[in-house]
Structure 1
Amino acid sequence: MTPTVKHLGRVDYEPTFQAMQAFTANRTAATPDELWIVEHPPVYTLGQAGKPEHILRDVGIPLVQIDRGGQVTYHGPGQVVIYLLLDLARLKIKVRELVTAIEQAVIDLLGNYGVTAERRDGAPGVYVGAAKVAALGLRIRNGCSYHGVSLNVDMDLSPFEAINPCGYPGLQVVQTKDLNIPLTVGEAGEQLSQQLLLQLERQHG
């Protein structure tokens, strides 16, 4: 059963987070998996073991403490976020395999435009050279995943300067626009969701 892809547009972070939790808490063995494609107004999110000292200064952007793994990251307009609401037990996919599949989807998307991207051991996400282009964080509850992946497309990157992105001081970030990839946020969301579906099919198959 292929996951249902939902385009939710630009939505506030907190209600979306609560909706993911509710969806996961209320799902049954028969609930179809879903991918939610969204964009958020400016917000910092701090993972459950996140250290506040990775927020270097207050630039007036709200901070939301959440239940995914990982440290602090930034979401804002011009960045596509895809949440993966998946029954991993039903898909017979382990968490590590899901992380690899998500990273590979981003790598393949960029590769289609002639950009070489890679993953790093122990630092989930996707990198072009030394700069991070995509971040990911997941929460697994009762064998089901939520949260997901964010890809920087065409955004104001300056809010990343007020944090240690994902807990790494001085980590550079990059976006697809600066890699000469001519995608809008909508197109990037559509193409990344298709790559994710392909990867999930491969893992499941």
Structure 2
Amino acid sequence: MTAIRHLGIQDYEPIWRDMQQFTVNRTPETEDELWIVEHPPVYTLGLSGKREHLLNTGNIPIIQSDRGGQVTYHGPGQVVIYTLLDLTRLKLNIRQLVSLLEQAMIDVLSSYDIDSKARADAPGVYVGAKKIGSIGIRIKKNCSYHGLSLNNNMDLRPFSGINPCGYADLKVTQLADLGIIINTGELANQVAHALIKALNT
């Protein structure tokens, strides 16, 4: 079983610390959880994040995180799902997990007639050349935390203050810009259930 927890709008850092604590304390019997959350505006740098990719961040906070990947932006109107999963129990490696997260987003986007795809050279989900979904994972004790973000109906301008995911000139998009208006919590539920379905197959 995988539990879904709806956390509402929460600051990034306390949730990150809670994920770390959950992962350190969990046992082989601990139920997997998906945490659905939205964050106030924040830039996060992954373990391989280079500060040269911070271009014009203004007064938005910058947090050095322990997830994989480069720099990204989180803000209200973006689906964030943290995946607290026991990979040993699920018989998954990290590459398979990343593919499952990408596919869950792709499947939900497809249900809105949005054609999206993953890229082997740059994890995440893309509509044409524009990125709509990002992934950053950390594995500890063969359990995952951090997870995915999907741009729904948000202010995308802060992405122009960074090289998203370390790629200069990478453009981003969101469902609202593609003509799909949906409540962010509802969209998050759809992605969470698509992911649970994938984990159970």
TM-score using structure 1 length: 0.97
Q: CA deviation at 1:162?
A: 0.3
- Is the CA contact (8 Å cut-off) linking 2:88 and 2:142 kept in structure 1? yes
Distance 1:74 1:170 in 2: 15
Deviating more after overlay: 182-191 vs 77-86: 182-191
- Is the CA contact (8 Å cut-off) linking 2:57 and 2:162 kept in structure 1? no
Distance 1:113 1:189 in 2: 14
Structure 2 residue aligned with 1:124:
123
Structure 1 residue aligned with 2:55:
56
Distance 1:95 1:164 in 2: 25
Matched, 1:6 2:12: no
Amino acid aligned to 1:14: E
Distance 2:35 2:57 in 1: 30
Q: CA deviation at 1:58?
A: 3.0
**Partner SS for 1:123:** coil
Amino acid aligned to 1:76: G
Structure 2 residue aligned with 1:171:
170
Structure 2 residue aligned with 1:101:
100
Amino acid aligned to 2:41: P
Matched, 1:36 2:35: yes
User: Where does structure 2 lack aligned partners over 5 or more consecutive residues?
Assistant: none
Q: CA deviation at 1:179?
A: 1.2
Deviations 1:78-99 (A, max 9, x none): 1010000000001111111111
Distance 1:59 1:125 in 2: 26
Amino acid aligned to 2:52: E
* Regions of 4+ moved over 2 Å: none
Number of corresponding residues: 201
Q: CA deviation at 1:184?
A: 1.1
Distance 1:129 1:26 in 2: 41
- Is the CA contact (8 Å cut-off) linking 2:131 and 2:170 kept in structure 1? yes
Q: CA deviation at 1:182?
A: 2.5
Distance 2:57 2:131 in 1: 22
Distance 2:37 2:57 in 1: 25
**Partner SS for 2:85:** strand
Matched, 1:146 2:145: yes
Task: Kindly report the root-mean-square deviation, in angstroms, between the aligned alpha carbons of the 2 structures.
Answer: 0.7
**Partner SS for 2:124:** strand
Deviations 1:14-67 (A, max 9, x none): 000000000000001111000000000000000012100000023110000011
Determine what percentage of the aligned residue pairs are the same residue: 57
**Partner SS for 2:69:** coil
User: Where does structure 1 lack aligned partners over 5 or more consecutive residues?
Assistant: none
Amino acid aligned to 1:162: G
